Each structure stands twice: as C-alpha cells, then as structure tokens.
Structure 1
Amino acid sequence: MASQMIVNSEHGSIVDVPGLQVGHFTLSERLTGCSVVLAPEGAVGAVDVRGAAPGTRETDLLDPANLVDKVHAVLLSGGSAFGLDAASGVVRWLEEHGIGFETGYGRVPIVPAAVLFDLPVVRPGDDPKARPQAEAGYAACQAASTAQPAAGNVGAGAGACVGKLFGLDRCMKGGIGNASVRVGPWVVGALVACNAVGDVIDPASGQVLAGARTADGTGLLDSQRALLAGERGKRPLPGTNTTIGVVATNATLTKAQAKRLAMSAHDGLARSIRPAHTPLDGDTLFALATGTEASPADLMLLTVMAAEATALATLDAIRQAQSIETTGGTVPAASAWQPSDKISHL
C-alpha cells in the first residue's frame, strides 16, 4: 500500500527532521535579525543559488567536488552583506561546544550563510545602522531548540518585504516561515525567509497573497501580469531583495544528492513567488541531510517533497507576517490588510 503524504505547514518545520535545531534573534534597535539551523552532529550540506545578486559565505566548500562533506550550522540573516558577520558568532558558539570539523589542531565549525537586504525597513526611532553582527549569531544559537520555531516578523524575516517591483511605497510585509512534509520513513522540512521583489502566490488557487499594491492602494497589482502588459514602475536596485532558506531531510544522501535536493527546492520558490530568481534577487537555498534514516533514499520522491515543503514554508512566512509602521508609512501584511474589491486585472 502506497504511503500517504502528510503536509504540515502550521505546526511543522525543519526541526521535524531529527538532528536539527532552530534559533532566531531579532534586534531591538531596528527591525532585522538572523536565524540559525544547527546540526550538532553534522549534516551533509549543499547549496543552489538561482538569484543574480546573492550574498553568501562558505558556499564553495559545499560543491560536491570539494573536501568537506558536513556542515554544523546554516545561518540566514538580514542586514545585507553586513549580516554575514553574524556567522562569526555562530562559529564561536559551536567552537565553545566542541562542534566542528576535526583538523588535528582543533575543531573548525563549518557555517555557510546567506543574507537578504532589509536596510530600507526603518521604524520611527530605529537606529538605521543596526545590523545583525557576531553577537546576534551567537544569541540565535543560544536560543536554538527542537521546539516549533516562531514565524513572521522574527529573525532573518524581521525586516523582509515582498512586491517591490513598483516601488517600496507599494510593497507588503514578508517574513520567515516553516513547513514539513512526511512520506513513509522520510521527512523533509523547510525554513524560508521571503524578501522577494516579486509577489507571493498561493499555488493551489493562483491567488496573489501579498505583493505590489495598485497605485491607488485599493488592491493587488499582480506584478507579473503588469510587466507582461508593458507597465513599468520604480525598479529597486539589484541585490536589494532575495529569498533565502534551508531545506532538510532525515535521508542519507551524498553531497551530489543533497545538491539535487537544493535545486528541486527552488521549484517551490518558483511556484510560490512570481516572478522568482530575478536579476534583482539573490535567491539561495541550502540543503541538509542528517542521515538519521538509513533506508536507501528515494531521491525522486525527496525532490518532490523538497519543492512542496519550500513552497509551503514561503506561504507560511507571508501568512504569519504582521504589518509594521516605518518612517515611510505602513507596510501592510496579508494577515491584516483588507483591500477593496478593486483589484487590478491587467
């Protein structure tokens, strides 16, 4: 009898994969932060970058042709390139706990990282130069656990926004979200921080959940339709967006197989973000395989599960987000914004 797929986006997450923990840290000085996925026993790691403007750390070592086959944490951070500094705090925390790659001269923690651009999101009274630094990464590790992670305006998703193709004044709130999918003995979980230049779509209905609003503020524009119809707006600078995340499984995989998992996870972004993988985004997804399930891996099934979990985690990020007040005005969230019936259908 065939196994039934069990999807869990409201109460599931990447920590449903045995061997992983998640911790968030959100700055009080400005709406930004970082999130860490810890793999204390190590996990086979891979990465796939599809956006044209990524901000990353330690991604070359994840190439299947390179030596190190396991990582000990993955960091997702706000703060643009400044946020990469938070990885130093993760490294320090892991070293203090005796976790890392054994060199004979000490253990060296392997911590790949990716950042998103949230620098324009400043609330009244915020310090615009506050960014996640080493202390933030360390604090995220201290907060890490196997409990269901928070979602929405926390960690790497604190300052995330979506729908920016027609100007920041018409965007909506993004965030960070969770999901997991189970089939038979395998589980695939995802953690996604959505800061896309495009809109977020419900793949099941085709409905735009959050994205660029119409110029009069009465509805959702549908950025892709607007572009195809010839409409042009205020384009954000390249690299000022990005969706980043981690997809993980309990399966036993090689680095090459984990790479395939990361590649397939991007299908989930393409289903839930429109347009995705643009020249203005730095879309980056990491894959982790903890190997706690010894059964021979069904890679075909796992790649399908990875795409599904990633899409669901992206939707969860948007549904859990909360509206914010910035120096430029209100950035509404899908959970609170009530547009009129005057939706633009180009």
Structure 2
Amino acid sequence: MASQMIVNSEQGSIVDVPGLQVGHFTLSQRLTGCSVVLAPDGAVGAVDVRGAAPGTRETDLLDPANLVDKVHAVLLSGGSAFGLDAASGVVRWLDEHGIGFETGYGRVPIVPAAVLFDLPVVRPGEDPKARPGPDAGYAACEAASRKTPDAGNVGAGAGACVGKLFGLDRCMKGGIGNASVRVGPWVVGALVACNAVGDVIDPATGQVLAGARTADGLSLLDTQRALLKGERGHRPLPGTNTTIGVVATNATLTKAQAKRLAMSAHDGLARSIRPAHTTLDGDTLFAMATGTESSQADLMLLTAMAAEATALATVDAIRHAQSIQSVTGPVPAANHLAA
C-alpha cells in the first residue's frame, strides 16, 4: 500500500524534527524581533533565494561546492539590514556553549541569517530606531526549546505586514508561523516569517486570507486580480517586503540534496502568496537536515513535503497574526477583517 502524506493534525512545527530547537525574542521598544532555529549537533544546511532584494548573511558557504557542510543555527530577523547584527549574538551564545565547526584552533559557530523589512511598523510611543541586535539574538537562543514555537506577532514576524502594493495604509498584519508534515519515518517542518508584498492565499480553497484592502479598508482587494485588470498602486521600494523561513527534515541529506529541499520549499510560497518572488521581495528559504533518520532518503517525497509544510506555515502565520494600531493607522489581521 502506498504511503500517504499526513499533515500533523495539530499543525505541528519545525521542532517536530529531532535535533532542533526554536526561540523567539520580541523587542519591548518596538514591534520587531528575531527567531532562531538551533541545531546543537549541527545540521546539513542549504539556502535558496528567489526574491530580488534579499538581506542575508553566510549564504555563500551553503553552496554545495563549498567546504562547510553543517550549520549550527539559522537566524530570521526583522529590522532590515540592521537585524543581521542579531546573528552575532547567536554566534556568541553558541561559542559559550562550545558549539561550532572545529578548526583546530577552536570551534567556530556557523550561523546563516536572513532579514525582513519591518521598519515602517511603529506603534504610538514606540522607538522607531529600535532594531534587533546581538543581545536580541542571544536572548532568542536563551529562549530556545523543543516546545512548539509561538506564532503570529512574535520574533521575526512581530512587525511583518502583507499586501503592501497599494500602500501601507491598505496592508494587513503578517507574522511568523509553523507546520510539519510526516510520511513514514520522515518528518519535514517549516518556520516562516511572512512579510510579503503580495496577498496570502489558502492553497486548499484559493481564498485570499490577508493582503491589500479596498480603498475603504473594509474588504480584501485581491492584489493579483487587480494587477491583471491594470490597476496600479503606490509602488513600494524594493526590499521593503520579503518572506523568510527555514524548512527542516530528519532525513540524512547531502548539501546538494538539502539545496533541492530549499528550492522546492519555494513552491509552497508560490502556492500561498500571490504574487510571490517579486522584484520587491527578498524571499529566502534555508534548509536544515539533522540526519537523525538514517534510511535512504526519498528526495521526491521530501521535496513535496517541504512545499506542503512551507505553504501551511505561511498560512499559519496569517491565522495567528493580531491586529495592531501603527502611527500610520490601523493594520488589521485576517481574523479581525473576517469579523
């Protein structure tokens, strides 16, 4: 009897993959933060960048042709390029715990990172200059555990918004979400921080869940349909959006195979974000393979699972997002607009 894909009935998360821990840190001074996926025993790492305006760190070493094959953490952060500083705090935490690539002169932690642009999201009384830095990355590591991570307005998804092609005054709240998929001995989990310029779609129904609103702010516009009808909005600056995430598996993979996993995970973004991978986004997905399952990997199956988990995690981010009041006006969440 053929195996069937079974989505975790409780949605699941990336920590369903043995060997991983997740921690969030959300700043008190402004709605922004960072999220870390720790792999204390190391995980084969890879990355695939599909957006045209990425903000990343340590991605070249993940090329299958390059030397280092394992990462010890992946950081996702708000704060645009400033948020890349948070990775230094993750490196410091790993160094203090003796985790890293053995050089013969000490262990060097390998921590790739990606950031999203949440600088416009400022609530009344908040400090617009507050951004995740090294202390935030360190705090996220301190908070990391095997517990199912929180979702919505936390960590890297704290200041995320979606549907910005027709102006910030018509966007909706994004966030960070989780999912996992199991088939036989394999599990694939995803953690996605969604800050897309496009709308977020429920792949099961095709329904727009959150995105650009109509001019009166009361209902959803459907960005792609509006674009195809010739409507044009206030074009955001490139790089002011971006969906970033990690897809992970317990399978034993090479770097080249992990790269295929990251590439296929982007299919999940294309199913759940419309339009995706635009010139205004820096969409970046990392892959991590912990290798706790030693049976020969079925890469065809694993890539299908990666796309499914990524789509589910993107939708989860939107379903858990909460409305906020920013200095530019209300930013409703999907549950608020539906009500």
Compute the displacement of 1:295 (Å). Answer: 0.3
Compute the displacement of 1:2 (Å). Answer: 2.3
Compute the displacement of 1:11 (Å). Answer: 4.2
When normalised by structure 2's length, the TM-score is 0.98
SS at match of 1:262: helix
Matched pairs, number: 337
**CA distance, structure 1, for counterparts of residue 9 and residue 231 of structure 2:** 35
Query: Is the contact made by 1:269 and 1:276 (CA closer than 8 Å) also made in structure 2?
Result: yes
Compute the displacement of 1:8 (Å). Answer: 2.4
Compute the displacement of 1:9 (Å). Answer: 7.0
Q: Deviations over 1:317-339 (max 9, x none)?
A: 000000001111110000xxxxx
Query: Is the contact made by 1:11 and 1:148 (CA closer than 8 Å) also made in structure 2?
Result: no
Compute the displacement of 1:5 (Å). Answer: 1.9
**CA distance, structure 1, for counterparts of residue 9 and residue 131 of structure 2:** 29
**CA distance, structure 2, for counterparts of residue 51 and residue 101 of structure 1:** 29
Compute the displacement of 1:217 (Å). Answer: 1.7
1:265/1:9 CA distance change after superposition, 3 Å = farther
When normalised by structure 1's length, the TM-score is 0.96
**CA distance, structure 1, for counterparts of residue 265 and residue 8 of structure 2:** 16
**CA distance, structure 2, for counterparts of residue 215 and residue 157 of structure 1:** 26
**CA distance, structure 2, for counterparts of residue 242 and residue 321 of structure 1:** 17
Query: Is the contact made by 2:323 and 2:336 (CA closer than 8 Å) also made in structure 1?
Result: no
1:325/1:48 CA distance change after superposition, 3 Å = same
**CA distance, structure 2, for counterparts of residue 243 and residue 10 of structure 1:** 23
**CA distance, structure 1, for counterparts of residue 200 and residue 265 of structure 2:** 16
Query: Is the contact made by 1:9 and 1:312 (CA closer than 8 Å) also made in structure 2?
Result: no
SS at match of 1:72: strand
SS at match of 1:345: helix
- In structure 1, the partner of 2:80 is 80
Query: Is the contact made by 2:11 and 2:179 (CA closer than 8 Å) also made in structure 1?
Result: yes
Query: Is the contact made by 2:43 and 2:291 (CA closer than 8 Å) also made in structure 1?
Result: yes
Compute the displacement of 1:277 (Å). Answer: 0.1
**CA distance, structure 1, for counterparts of residue 336 and residue 19 of structure 2:** 47
**CA distance, structure 2, for counterparts of residue 9 and residue 259 of structure 1:** 28
- In structure 1, the partner of 2:13 is 13
Query: Is the contact made by 2:201 and 2:273 (CA closer than 8 Å) also made in structure 1?
Result: yes
- In structure 2, the partner of 1:125 is 125
**CA distance, structure 2, for counterparts of residue 216 and residue 193 of structure 1:** 27
Gaps of 5+ in 2: none
**CA distance, structure 1, for counterparts of residue 153 and residue 216 of structure 2:** 26
**CA distance, structure 2, for counterparts of residue 325 and residue 98 of structure 1:** 43
Q: Deviations over 1:39-85 (max 9, x none)?
A: 00000000000000000000000000000000000000000000000
- In structure 2, the partner of 1:273 is 273
**CA distance, structure 1, for counterparts of residue 296 and residue 2 of structure 2:** 17
Compute the displacement of 1:262 (Å). Answer: 0.1
SS at match of 1:319: helix
Query: Is the contact made by 1:248 and 1:287 (CA closer than 8 Å) also made in structure 2?
Result: yes
1:345 pairs with 300, 312, 336, which one? 336
**CA distance, structure 2, for counterparts of residue 72 and residue 101 of structure 1:** 8
**CA distance, structure 2, for counterparts of residue 159 and residue 218 of structure 1:** 21
Q: Deviations over 1:106-128 (max 9, x none)?
A: 00000000000000000000000
Compute the displacement of 1:216 (Å). Answer: 1.5
Structure 1 runs, 4 residues or longer, greater than 4 Å off: none
Compute the displacement of 1:4 (Å). Answer: 2.8
Compute the displacement of 1:3 (Å). Answer: 2.4
**CA distance, structure 2, for counterparts of residue 217 and residue 129 of structure 1:** 28
**CA distance, structure 1, for counterparts of residue 323 and residue 185 of structure 2:** 39
Compute the displacement of 1:345 (Å). Answer: 21
SS at match of 2:300: helix
Compute the displacement of 1:218 (Å). Answer: 2.6
Q: Deviations over 1:145-197 (max 9, x none)?
A: 00000000000000000000000000000000000000000000000000000
**CA distance, structure 2, for counterparts of residue 67 and residue 273 of structure 1:** 34
Taking every aligned residue pair, what percent have the same amino acid on both sides? 91
**CA distance, structure 1, for counterparts of residue 126 and residue 8 of structure 2:** 36
SS at match of 1:123: coil
- Tell me the C-alpha RMSD between the 2 structures: 2.0
